[in-house]
Amino acid sequence: MHAKEHRGRDYTPLFKFLLAHVGKPWNEVYSEAVSRLDRADPIFWLVALTECDRDEFVRAGESSYYSGLYVDDSGLLQRVNPKLGPSSLAPECKCCTHTFNGVRFTQPFRLSEFSLEPGSNSET
Ligand SMILES: [Zn+2]
């Protein structure tokens, strides 16, 4: 088995290539993508082959997020959730620059994310 790790390798260009070809025939996108790579599996970090593998977004590295993709019934590459964008997710921490499809998150980091609303349920 070739269990070689490719950690630290940057697949940003591949992910951007895939995103730029949403709506295009998957066969063509795949063969072009695979011809530029030494291995095919990073393609499937973003592209789900089965329905249960579909994710709205995929995390690549510490703070880079990308749209989850799939192939529709007519063989076209599609986003799992086309509405998802840089304003959809909140950053997990303050120290990193979080990006969605290469675009910076528009939501600020908030510590109050999990705090309860005060005075909404007063029992006396
Ligand atoms: Zn951080």
Span from the CA of 102 to the centroid of ligand 1 (angstroms): 16
Mean pLDDT value of segment 89-97 = 92
Span from the CA of 112 to the centroid of ligand 1 (angstroms): 17
Of 118, 22, 13, give the one whose Cα is nearest residue 69.
22
Round to whole Å and give the CA distance between 76 and 109: 36
Span from the CA of 32 to the centroid of ligand 1 (angstroms): 34
Mean pLDDT, the chain, integer:
87
- Contact at 8 Å (CB) between 74 and 68? no
Q: Where are the domains of the chain?
A: 12-106
Span from the CA of 94 to the centroid of ligand 1 (angstroms): 6
Span from the CA of 95 to the centroid of ligand 1 (angstroms): 4
Span from the CA of 97 to the centroid of ligand 1 (angstroms): 7
Span from the CA of 84 to the centroid of ligand 1 (angstroms): 22
Span from the CA of 27 to the centroid of ligand 1 (angstroms): 37
What is the sign of the dihedral through the CA atoms of 70, 16, 28 and 7? negative
- Contact at 8 Å (CB) between 108 and 91? yes
- The 10s digit of each residue's pLDDT in 20-52 is 999 999 999 999 999 999 999 999 999 998 999
pLDDT score for 2: 46
pLDDT score for 69: 98
Round to whole Å and give the CA distance between 30 and 26: 6
pLDDT score for 1: 43
The fraction of the chain above a pLDDT of 70, given in percent, is 83
pLDDT score for 58: 95
β-sheet bridge partners, residue 48: 70
pLDDT band at 3 (very low <50, low <70, confident <90, very high): very low
